[in-house]
Structure 1
């Protein structure tokens, strides 16, 4: 069994893999599985950056306190 990635909490807060796939306009046939895979692998950085309106900034990509972006 795979260990959940911290992004699982983000996906769950957005309504789960089916809802995230719908918001991203992913193919209904494969999109839910794709998003579900992110619960163990993490949301791909390119997907996160292209959809900041959905995911918001990542704590991994945000500047540290006191630093300028």
Structure 2
């Protein structure tokens, strides 16, 4: 493979990975309060069932 082609492929892959990382980071940042509330409840109660999780994550932004 020609070095310039390999460099372009490497850069394209880096761009894709960075874009996905930034998207995931934004989702976590937007949902920080919901995630912290889940963590506090889990620490306090040690277990959460499905209905608890559904109730705690009602405000979760998925996109």
What TM-score do you get using the length of structure 2 for normalisation?
0.29
Higher helix content, 1 or 2: 2
Larger RCO (CA under 8 A, 6+ residues apart): 2
